[in-house]
A = this chain, B = another copy of it.
């Protein structure tokens, strides 16, 4: 029998767009000069965003695109009402994040064992254990911690990820002190019924304000998935201006859903974002020019085409 989407919740009246383009996005593009990133984040800061992922304190050898995060985060022009966050896999990273005046840090785990082993070379439970010192330090310094959970729908090694497994690890991340967990469809194979099934399970145990969704558009399904998630009361959505990031698991394909496309959807549904779409699109065109690529956002391209008419 074909399942219906769960529309037992109202759509949220407003959503928080968590902008990940400057970290999750740029981490998977060619390296840029620090000043380009600073200009990009400064322009994003004019768009009305409340959360901007601004850097990562990870191995410069493995992720050269983020090697200058300390300089970038020190040089950006801060807005009082914006949370600038950084990815911190360990204590060294956390201490650099502190030094970079990150308002928030993030840790990450996989919802599937196969991806955990391949991506960070340890089991899920080992990976969570490694984050305990970071959590302790963050608590000491009063820094909020966000959790990223990958492969929540499918894993390239293990196949479909059981929703109960996602729930269990999400609960562990919250138990460790994460104020929110961002559920990532890392390979972008999710479709609305799978999302409904996952969120049914998650919503049964965890308040939706502690859950964000992070969809990839690799198979073109990010917006229907976001529409499904909105219909189930999810009100925090990760997105990347201009779809920055591509897909590390399918070179040439799309990755992160474009912020512009999500914002257009929300505004047209009457859901407030507080965002200025023109400024977001301008930031996308600016950084894409630096990267010598076109925005991976239909909305951004349609806006430009309309301007040129």
Contacts and interface: CB of A to CB of B under 8 A. Distances in A.
B4 A219 contact: no
Interface string A169-211: 0000000000000000000110111100000000000000000
A296 to B, nearest CB: 9
A11 B231 CA distance: 17
Chain A binding site: helix, strand, loop or mixed by DSSP?
Answer: loop
Contacts of A58: none
A10 B2 contact: yes
Contacts of A231: 4-5
Interface in A128-183: none
A280 to B, nearest CB: 14
A78 interface: no
B5 A219 contact: no
A309 B253 CA distance: 12
Most chain B CB within 10 A, of A11, A194, A271, is at A11
A192 B271 contact: no
A7 B10 contact: no
Contacts of A194: 268
A110 to B, nearest CB: 20
A229 to B, nearest CB: 11
A261 interface: yes
Q: Would you list the 3 A-B pairs with minimal beta carbon distance, nearest first?
A: A220-B298, A191-B268, A250-B305
Given A220-B261, A221-B261, 18 more contacts: A2-B269, A2-B270, A4-B7, A4-B11, A4-B231, A5-B5, A191-B268, A192-B269, A193-B269, A217-B298, A219-B264, A220-B264, A220-B297, A221-B268, A224-B265, A251-B305, A253-B298, A253-B305
